[in-house]
Amino acid sequence: MKRIAAITMVRNDDFYLRKWVEYYGRELGKENLYIYFDGLDQEIAPFCEGTTALKVPKIGKRVVSNDKGRVQFLSWKAAELLSGGYDLVIGTDADEFIVVDPKLGKSLPEYLSEAKIKGSLSPLGLDFGQKLGEEMDITENEPFLLQRHYAQLGTRYTKASIMAEPLAWGSGFHRIKGRNFHIAKNLYLCHFGYFDQKRLEDRFQDKDRLKQGWGKHMKKRSRTIQLVSNKKARKFEPWTCFARICQTLVRPPYAWNKPAMFGLKLIVRIPERFQNIV
Q: 217 falls in which pLDDT band (50, 70, 90)?
A: low
Q: What is the pTM of this model?
A: 0.92
Q: 253 falls in which pLDDT band (50, 70, 90)?
A: confident
What's the burial of 245, exposed, middle or buried (CB within 10 Å: 0-12/13-18/19+)? exposed
CATH number for position 200: 3.90.550
Stated as kind and residue range, the H or E segment containing 190 is: strand 183-191
pLDDT in tens, 96-139: 999 999 999 999 999 999 999 989 999 999 999 999 999 999 99
pLDDT (average), residues 76-103: 97
Q: 208 falls in which pLDDT band (50, 70, 90)?
A: low
Give the chain's domain count: 1
First to last CA, the chain: 23
Q: Provide the residue range defining the domain that includes 217.
A: 4-274
pLDDT tops 70 at residue 181 = yes
Q: 202 falls in which pLDDT band (50, 70, 90)?
A: confident
